[in-house]
Amino acid sequence: MVNYTNLFRRRVHRPMHASMVIALGFLLIILTGALLLTLPVSSRTGEPTAFVDALFTATSATCVTGLVTVGTATHWSGFGQTVILLMIQIGGLGFMTLASIASFLLRRTITLRERLVMSAGLNLSDNAGIVRLTRRVLFGTFAFEAAGAALLACRFVPQFGFARGVKMGVFHAVSAFCNAGFDLLGTPDNPFASLVGYVDDPLVNLTIMALIVIGGLGFFVWGDIWDKRRFSRLSLHTKLVLVTTALLLAAGTGLTLLFEWNNPATLGPLSAGDKVLAAAFQSVTLRTAGFNTIDQAALEGPTQALSCLLMMIGGSPGSTAGGIKTVSAAVLVLSALSALRGRTSVSAFGRSIGVRNIMNAVTMMIVGGTVSLTGACAIAYIEGAPFGQCLFEAVSAFATVGVTMGLTPGLHTASHLILIVLMYLGRVGVLTLGVAVLMRHREPPKLQYPESNVMVG
């Protein structure tokens, strides 16, 4: 006879899968941040903030997106901005990565369960060496953010004074490294100014760009580069990340220059050197960073399409960036090229790419495209706005980019809720989907069907 009491107890006490821990952990952080932001102390006026605006901001910060409904500099007080900064740091690195600091300081042994969640949070399929990698991640993160803050302070301190200048340097360095895109440069007349006023400033542009790229490469890539030092010795993953990132940045810069060179509302008024700088920044920020130095609403049609493509690809696996990831895009392109050449296998740099990796890349692309299109259609239906603008905002939300054509602040509550769901799915849903696929116990199929051909194309 089955003992249902013991069976129930086993089910109740069964530990949650690492992907579920991540999903619930992010949700808890978002709700906690939203409640803190609704407090009167969080706003400059001393009045409570509407819960939808607080929830939108908390989701955007935790999911390192950058889309906002109220000006970060003009609406939130110092306390509110600190809450936002903490959520950005937690969202960028993962709550388990930051929680491990206490274990390191107390010299407490990290359990196997904690190692599994830490590896899942960094999107790694193997927890071997995860503690050593986490130490590197924490050290590297704080080192890069400190260096970026010091460089940005050199520009902001003379402009805003020492205390505020240092604060601005730290906030923007953390926001850039975590690919969040939040800024404190808004004014009452222009609350969503971002970095438009620094379009011709090499120090600000190059520092922010470097932080975005480094944060978007991925934590595993850092360790691989540090250990191997030579390109020929790097893993296939790292090679794909570096090559794909370089190609996307170069193509994005070149095509932006081509499409926007004479646009009077974007690159047109700038000198040749500043045009290159602005185009490069545009290409980098679309890798899910969210800052902008040119007006996104004034972009030409081809540039808008290019922006959506670059946003959807995003950064690299196991990084602070979002999107379907560079490696997925590279695998899809390599698969297409192999098919065009009549080959039945996919390879790169002398290594074959497994069928499971190809299936995962296809899955990520289909899920990302379907979710973004669905969200864009829903927003267009609710708002009666042009579909192109709605698609831009939806892709920006799902890929956790944060650039906007100015549509987001004026949307209705229903559309804001749709963007909240897109941001959560883009940061947490895709991550947990990837973790579930990577960590699932794979068994050979018990039933093998006869193979048959179908007509494709």
Distance CA(200)–CA(277), nearest Å, equals: 7
Q: Identify how many contiguous H helices and E strands the chain contains and give both numbers.
A: 19, 2
Q: Give tens-digit pLDDT for 85-128.
A: 999 988 887 655 555 555 555 455 555 455 555 555 555 555 55
The residues with which 348 forms a beta bridge, in sequence order, are 351
Amino acid type, 114: E
Distance CA(113)–CA(132), nearest Å, equals: 16
Q: How confident is the model at residue 354 (pLDDT cuts 50, 70, 90)?
A: confident
Q: Which residue has the higher pLDDT, 287 or 82?
A: 82
Element (H, E) at 310: helix 301-313
Give Cα separations from 191 to 70, 174, 404, 405 (angstroms). 8, 20, 13, 14
Binning the chain into helix, strand and coil, the percentages to the nearest 5 are 65, 0, 30
Q: SS3 for 115?
A: helix
Q: Give tens-digit pLDDT for 383-433.
A: 999 999 999 999 999 999 989 998 999 999 999 999 999 999 888 766 565
Q: Give tens-digit pLDDT for 211-270.
A: 999 988 877 788 888 888 888 889 888 999 999 999 999 999 999 999 999 999 999 999
pTM: predicted TM-score of the whole model, two decimal places: 0.86
Residue 183 carries which DSSP code? Answer: -
Q: What sign does the CA torsion over 443, 429, 404, 383 have?
A: positive
